[in-house]
Amino acid sequence: MNFLGVAISKLIHLSVRCLLKLAEDLGAEPIWVFNAGISRNDQVDTTAIAPFVKDVLDSLEFARGSAKSTWGSVRAAMGHPERFPLKYVAVGNEDCDNTKPFYQGHYLKFYNAIRGAYPDIQIISNCDGSSEPLDHPADLYDFHIYNSANDLFLKKDTFSRTSRTGPKVFVSEYAVHVDGDTSKGSLQASLAEAAFLIGLEVNSDIVHMASYAPLFVNDNDRKWNPDAIVFNSWQQYGTPSYWMQTFFGESSGAVIHPVRLNSSYSGSLAASAITWQDNEDIFLRIKIVNFGPNAVNLTLSATGLEAGVNASRSAVTVLTSNDSLDENSFDDPLKVKPVKSGLPSAAEEMQAMLVPHSFTSFDLALDEYGELAADM
């Protein structure tokens, strides 16, 4: 018996167990991204990939297998006899490019083995299918994007032109990430990211999941900018990008409605309209990014309402600051934050003003709703 190999496998499975338990404790859906036999500078020939495939199958058995199975019993012995609900795996990370010719051969070996053993697991390819179809089977493909603020804002319609057939999209890494454009996370960066996320939201028939660039960073050990939450041994704060994401998180699972923008400044705007439910209350939420330096006056008109808007329960939330390059810090952790206020003028048709460099959410409380459209 190869005792060293068994010991290494147990260490790997201990790490897997810790990560799966963390996801379980957070109430989050785990996605396991495993090594596909390719590193930054080296790669295994496809003819030698079998041991890697076996390791992955063993690890999946550790997560998903019966407590009486070989590796499921190891999980049980660690104190977790219940199976982990692992539903997604990604074959490698950023491995599908011209410098890594073995990826697609490796991918098919992993895909066939996993599909045969766990037909319900969703398998994610590293290859980009946003502009042309993939030439291999996949449930989703992984899409990464890092740009300047201006370029990311212009990418907001990326998936409006993507085929509606074939694998769905997992945007697993997105952020404004250009030196001099973000520093440690500016309002301007968060607005460009918000516009891009609005583009994902309105294309949610094809984009199924998204996640930001690194969530946490220790300020004493920075390797990457920007990040969503910054901490040290006794302090923490959220960057503008963190606060921007709160506009989207609470209303996931919403119903998307068409939006028409009628403004001379439409080139600097991005908007979506959704209906969502918060406990017993139903809201029409209209989110608008004003990426430009000018204030914009709009008439918001929602057609198709089956009941009036309840102004007393409606609200507006605005993320902005005095300067588009403003950032948060330990000394001023809430310099850029959302500000919520009542919306006594809320109605099916109402006037609204968007301040320069801002992200605004209008939450119109409804009693009922039908097929809606929003004109602005």
DSSP secondary structure of 221-287: S--SS--SEEE-SS-EEE-HHHHHHHHHHTTTTPEEE-EE---TTGGGEEEEEEEEEETTEEEEEEE
Burial (CB < 10 A; 0-12, 13-18, 19+), residue 171, is: buried
CA separation for the pair 236, 296 (Å, rounded): 34
Two tokens at 224?
Answer: 């990457």
Closest CA to 184 of 24, 341, 332: 332
Q: Considering the candidates 24, 61, 82, 94, report the single residue annotated as catalytic.
A: 94
pLDDT of 121 higher than 70: yes
| CATH class, range 256-375 | mainly beta
* Rounded-to-integer distance, Cα 8 and Cα 52, Å: 13
User: 48-62, 98-112, 154-168, 179-193: lowest mean pLDDT where?
Assistant: 179-193
348 catalytic per annotation:
no
pLDDT at 3 over 50: no
**Is the confidence at residue 2, as pLDDT, over 60?**
no
Residue spans per domain, the chain: 3-251, 256-375
CATH architecture of the region 3-251: Alpha-Beta Barrel (3.20)
99 in Cβ contact with 41 (< 8 Å): no
- What six digits make up the tokens of 155? 């990418």
Q: What integer pLDDT is reported at residue 371 of this predicted model?
A: 55
Distance of alpha carbon 209 from alpha carbon 200, whole angstroms: 9
Higher pLDDT, 40 or 217: 217
Q: What is the distance between the alpha carbons of residues 84 and 75, in angstroms, rounded to a whole number?
A: 10
- State the Cα–Cα distance between residues 32 and 262, nearest whole angstrom: 44
Question: Where do runs of H (alpha helix) occur along the chain?
Answer: 3-26, 50-64, 70-77, 103-117, 149-154, 187-202, 240-249
Query: Helix or strand or coil: residue 58?
Result: helix
Percent of the chain with pLDDT over 90: 73
- At 40, the pLDDT band (50, 70, 90 cuts) reads confident
Whether 363 has a pLDDT exceeding 90, the answer reads yes
Give the Cα separation of 106 and 50 in Å (integer).
9
The pLDDT > 70 percentage for the chain reads: 91
Q: Average pLDDT in the 221-241 region? A: 93
What's the average model confidence in pLDDT over 259-282? Answer: 90
Q: What is each CA distance from 332 to 236, 239, 321, 327, 329, in whole angstroms?
A: 11, 11, 13, 9, 5
Identify which has the larger pLDDT, 68 or 304: 68
Q: pTM of this prediction? A: 0.91
Q: In the predicted model, is pLDDT for residue 368 greater than 90?
A: no
Instruction: Calculate the alpha carbon distances from 57 to 104, 158, 218, 230 in Å.
Output: 19, 35, 34, 36
Tokens 């209350």: give the residue.
Answer: 281
Confidence grade of residue 5 (pLDDT, cut at 50, 70, 90): very low
What is the per-residue pLDDT for 147? 92
pLDDT per residue as tens digits for the range 303-325: 777 668 899 999 999 999 999 99
